[in-house]
Amino acid sequence: MTYKSGFVALIGRPNVGKSTLLNALVGQKVAIMSNRPQTTRNRIRGVRTTETSQMIFIDTPGIHKPKHRLGEYMVDIALKTLNEVDVIVLVVDASSYVHPTEIEIVKQLERVRTPVALALNKVDALEDRALVLKRIEEYQALRPFDEYVPISALRGEQVDLLAEVIEKRLPEGPRYYPDDMITDQPESFIVSEIVREKVLMLTRDEVPHSVMVAVEHMERRSSDTLYVSAVIYTERESQKAILIGKQGQMLKRVGEMARHELEALFGNRIYLELWVKVKRDWRNKPALLHQFGFDRDG
């Protein structure tokens, strides 16, 4: 049997149960990632690996925000991402009326070609479960979705069915991440996301959002100390210079801020070593793949 893999965007307005669903799909550990402020373009929220497929769930910040607050730029970024993923899951709260934000999201989705599954969550909270049919009709009137799956993320009901529906639409592909990533390795992703966040914050957009951070090495050096070495890749020498700063001041600040946050998060002392390298050709590679660190060899 062929193995399938791909990117899945979980979208929906706040509080509909996206985090709960994600946890039900991939396990508990990922919650830590979902609480991070949304400064990056996309973030991996979790990976579900089975015998037959691997799904990489990403966040699409901005898609649920009103357009006037967001600006065209972010809307465009969000739409670009949604066009690059393999499946979109729009999570809605079936126990609530169709919210104006959902109507806005559906409108945005007109510009996207990716298949969209509608996950009608919180069916356990419906007085009468037959009401979910009415809800489906209401959403269907907005646009025809590719799939409709009533679920209860909280109780884990029909979550596997949703996973099947997603899997059906994934392309053939490899396991991008090791099977045990969720249990063993999410730390490196958290580290790279946090470092990246500090870079963007402290350089105030002088370094573009496409900057990539690759964690090269993580090692426990004693019971309470974690040694981490990471490379920040920029596209140009000028960006590298900004990032390093006068006498290394900028890089030092990035490192200090990231270290503090990581220590609080992991409850360990962190020894963080940061390097800056220029990597010119990465734009040519498929944006999503490289952004998520699949090309770490160069």
Ligand X SMILES: Nc1nc2c(ncn2[C@@H]2O[C@H](COP(=O)(O)OP(=O)(O)OP(=O)(O)O)[C@@H](O)[C@H]2O)c(=O)[nH]1
For the window 216-255, what string marks contact with ligand X as x by the rule CB under 6 A? ----------------------------------------
- Among the listed residues 192, 244, 248, the one whose alpha carbon sits nearest the alpha carbon of residue 218: 192
Under a CB-based contact definition with an 8 Å cutoff, are residues 34 and 25 in contact?
A: no
End-to-end CA, the chain: 33
Q: Classify the phi-psi angles of 293: left when phi > 0, otherwise alpha if psi is within -120 to 50, otherwise beta.
A: left
How far is it, in rounded angstroms, from Cα 289 to Cα 298?
14
How far is it, in rounded angstroms, from Cα 50 to Cα 3?
10
Taking CB under 6 A as the rule, does residue 62 contact ligand X? no
Q: Site for ligand X (CB under 6 A): which residue of 18, 65, 196, 240?
A: 18
- The residue range among 119-127, 182-190, 257-265, 289-297 that interacts with ligand X, by the rule CB under 6 A, is 119-127
Q: Site for ligand X (CB under 6 A): which residue of 92, 153, 214, 272?
A: 153
| Residues β-bridged to residue 120 | 92, 150
Q: Looking at beta carbons only, is 18 or 135 nearer to ligand X?
A: 18
Q: How far is the CB of 48 from ligand X (least distance, A)?
A: 16
H helical segments located in the chain: 18-26, 31-34, 67-84, 100-109, 131-142, 159-168, 181-184, 186-203, 237-244, 249-266, 287-291
- Among the listed residues 180, 177, 169, 241, the one whose alpha carbon sits nearest the alpha carbon of residue 206: 241
Taking CB under 6 A as the rule, does residue 10 contact ligand X? no
Q: How far is the CB of 155 from ligand X (least distance, A)?
A: 6
Query: In Å, what is the CA distance from 279 to each residue of 159, 234, 276, 284?
Result: 41, 6, 10, 11
- Among the listed residues 11, 17, 19, 13, the one whose alpha carbon sits nearest the alpha carbon of residue 100: 13
Q: Has 13 been labeled as part of a binding site?
A: yes
- The residue range among 16-24, 39-47, 195-203, 253-261 that interacts with ligand X, by the rule CB under 6 A, is 16-24
Q: Site for ligand X (CB under 6 A): which residue of 122, 169, 198, 259?
A: 122
Q: Looking at beta carbons only, is 12 or 255 nearer to ligand X?
A: 12
- The residue range among 9-17, 194-202, 243-251, 271-279 that interacts with ligand X, by the rule CB under 6 A, is 9-17
> Which uninterrupted H or E stretch holds 230?
strand 225-234
Q: Site for ligand X (CB under 6 A): which residue of 49, 53, 54, 121?
A: 121
Taking CB under 6 A as the rule, does residue 19 contact ligand X? yes
Q: Site for ligand X (CB under 6 A): which residue of 49, 53, 60, 152?
A: 152
Taking CB under 6 A as the rule, does residue 15 contact ligand X? yes
Q: Has 15 been labeled as part of a binding site?
A: yes
By CB under 6 A, the residues from 69 to 108 that bind ligand X are none
Under a CB-based contact definition with an 8 Å cutoff, are residues 233 and 277 in contact?
A: yes
Q: Looking at beta carbons only, is 5 or 158 nearer to ligand X?
A: 158
Taking CB under 6 A as the rule, does residue 267 contact ligand X? no
- Which residues make up each annotated binding site? 12-19, 59-63, 121-124
| Residues making up the binding site for GTP | 12-19, 59-63, 121-124
